[in-house]
Amino acid sequence: MAGSEAWRSWAKPSAVLVLVSGAPAAPSVLLIKRPATLREHAGQVACPGGKYEPAIDASLWETACREAFEEVGVRVPADAPCLVLDPVGTVATGYTIQPFVVYRQQPPLLHLSVAEVADAAWISFEELRSSRRISLYERNGKRQRMPEFVTHWDRVWGATALIIDDLLQHEAAAVGLSKTG
């Protein structure tokens, strides 16, 4: 996977696979809910992904693909076309997340890892756009306005909301992956 190697200087690099599926006119994105028992990010909504493992992964792209397979059973070929979104940081745990968007016309069959995924749902871009709102968050005495999405399934906030917000801004490019894959 081509791209900058700047991520190698990140304190806690990680990656997610933003899996988009459906007809180009009505795409959806796969979101997962982390189990409440996890040490980090317990109960949070996310895209499949996790931390970079230098003994296993040669790149963050490999991290995203490995984690997607481990968490939801979706295999992504190493040469699959993808869209690379801007990295996003997590405030509480200090991870920097590199999102990779992959498009599949048909939603793949999911095999959820019960240790890492409590639930999963395909949420349409239309629902995400219509449920988007700006909320005020306070962290360490600082106030910040951030997007969040209150869907029929769950509330998407924090780093995942920033990733989804970026995805919606790049919808044409994400859905355009259907023409290259």
Query: C-alpha 108: how far from its chain's center?
Result: 16
Residue 117 resides in a domain: yes
Domain extent, residue 77, equals: 10-179
Residue 157 lies in a domain: yes
pLDDT of 37: 86
- DSSP SS3 for 174: helix
The answer to whether residue 134 is domain-embedded is yes
Across the chain, the runs of DSSP E, i.e. the strands, are 13-21, 28-33, 45-46, 49-51, 83-84, 88-89, 96-104, 119-124, 132-139, 142-150, 155-156
Percent of the chain whose predicted confidence (pLDDT) is above 70: 95
Pick the closest to residue 89 from 167, 29, 1, 16 (CA basis): 16
Would you say residue 153 lies in a domain?
A: yes
With 0.75 as the threshold, say if the pTM is over it: yes
Q: Helices marked H in 3-150 — which ranges?
A: 60-72, 125-131
- Distance in angstroms (rounded) separating the CA atoms of residues 97 and 90: 8
With respect to residue 79, please indicate whether it lies within any of the assigned structural domains.
yes
Closest CA to 71 of 123, 108, 28, 96: 108
2 found inside a domain: no
* 175 in any annotated domain: yes
Q: Is residue 4 part of a domain?
A: no
- What pLDDT score does 2 carry? 44
Q: Report how many domains make up the chain.
A: 1
Please check the confidence at residue 39 and state whether its pLDDT lies above 50. yes
What pLDDT does 11 receive? 79
130 φψ region: left (φ > 0), alpha (ψ -120 to 50), beta (else): alpha
* pLDDT tens-digit map of 93-143: 888 999 999 999 999 999 999 999 999 999 999 999 999 999 988 777 788
CATH code for position 32: 3.90.79.10
pLDDT in tens, 60-71: 999 999 999 999
